């Protein structure tokens, strides 16, 4: 029987506050549609056993590193920057779409060799530089095609051509699903599944892709706690254009996602990955 954890109350996905967030709601369980999207976990209780409910954030497999010394898992800086001060020294990654199934231990857990976040993270509220990578052992990820990073200014070009505004973006992530119909305020159900849904682009700034996730306005879905670091994809492709940073505490208004096609984002990612030109 699937165990459901109910998270009740108001959660703040504050853009300036680092910390783990909670899945892509309004869609469906992802199954094997997006095998390159994974979850990252930490051993919070120190028992040397990773379970599905120790989720930290979501992310995606971005392929081998430039020197082929590691395999790169892409996520958000605010998903890892808090760890050293809390005594967390490592993270684990799994691409299991249903980690609660069976004994509750995500299948294929991979312990990261190290994690690195953009050193500029959090110093400028106009641009959080909210990117991080987990460096996984070479050969630890097999049989999975990586996400495809965008070319420089990809989203700017879509905006200039009139294609961006109102465009549907594919969302994939693990974490909580909000409910607004219950008495006592918004409730959040967390079962650890990977889910997929879609949202609508409403704006673009120098560092953010903004999505509307009001279901009454779009009849689509959105992102919530645990989706931090997850990819926003061009529908039907493996191209990732941004990663989840945050939104409002009820997960039903605007969402802000960190662009990966900007000079700043590419400067950090280019240290680890061969980038498209």
Q: Where are the domains of the chain?
A: 35-146+263-269, 154-259
CA distance 270 to 21: 26
CA distance 126 to 232: 20
The reported pLDDT for the residue numbered 181 is 76
Task: Just give the CATH number of 154-259.
Answer: 2.40.10.10
CB atoms within 10 A of CB 52: 25
> CB neighbours of 31 closer than 8 A, spacing ≥ 6?
97
The reported pLDDT for the residue numbered 24 is 78
Query: Could you write out the DSSP letters of every residue in 20-56?
Result: -----BSSEE-TTS-TTEEEEE--TT-SS---GGGEE
> CB neighbours of 219 closer than 8 A, spacing ≥ 6?
none
What are 207-248's pLDDT values in tens digits?
Answer: 999 999 877 777 777 888 889 999 999 999 999 999 999 877
154-259 has the same fold as 35-146+263-269: yes
As its CATH architecture, domain 35-146+263-269 has: Beta Barrel (2.40)
User: What are φ and ψ of residue 25, in 5° steps?
Assistant: -100, 165
Q: Calculate the alpha carbon distances from 227 to 49, 166, 245, 251 in Å.
A: 22, 22, 8, 11
What are 29-79's pLDDT values in tens digits?
Answer: 999 999 999 999 999 999 999 999 999 999 999 999 999 999 999 999 999
> CB neighbours of 102 closer than 8 A, spacing ≥ 6?
none
| pTM for this prediction | 0.90
């Amino acid at each position: 029987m699937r165990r459901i954890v109910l998270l009740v109350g108001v959660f703040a996905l504050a853009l300036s506050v680092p910390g783990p967030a909670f899945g892509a709601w309004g869609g469906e369980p992802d199954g094997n549609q997006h095998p390159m999207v994974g979850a990252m976990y930490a051993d919070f209780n120190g028992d040397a056993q990773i379970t599905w409910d120790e989720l930290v954030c979501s992310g995606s497999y971005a392929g081998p590193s430039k020197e082929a010394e590691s395999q790169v898992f892409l996520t958000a800086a605010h998903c890892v920057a808090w760890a050293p001060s809390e005594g967390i020294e490592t993270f684990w990654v799994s691409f299991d779409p249903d980690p609660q199934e069976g004994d509750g231990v995500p299948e294929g857990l991979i312990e990261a060799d190290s994690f690195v976040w953009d050193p500029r993270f959090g110093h400028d509220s106009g641009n959080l530089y909210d990117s991080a990578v987990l460096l996984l052992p070479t050969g630890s990820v097999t049989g999975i095609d990586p996400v495809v990073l965008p070319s420089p200014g990809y989203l700017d070009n879509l905006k200039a051509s009139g294609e961006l505004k109102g465009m549907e973006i594919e969302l994939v992530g693990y974490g909580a699903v909000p409910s607004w119909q219950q008495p006592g305020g918004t409730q959040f159900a967390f079962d650890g599944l990977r889910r997929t849904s879609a949202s609508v682009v409403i704006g673009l700034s120098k560092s953010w892709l903004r999505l509307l996730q009001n279901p009454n306005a779009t009849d689509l879905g959105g992102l919530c706690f645990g989706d931090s670091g997850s990819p926003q994809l061009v529908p039907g492709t493996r191209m990732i254009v941004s990663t989840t940073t945050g939104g409002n505490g009820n997960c039903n208004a605007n969402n802000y996602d960190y662009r990966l096609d900007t000079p700043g984002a590419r400067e950090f990612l280019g240290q680890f990955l061969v980038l498209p030109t």
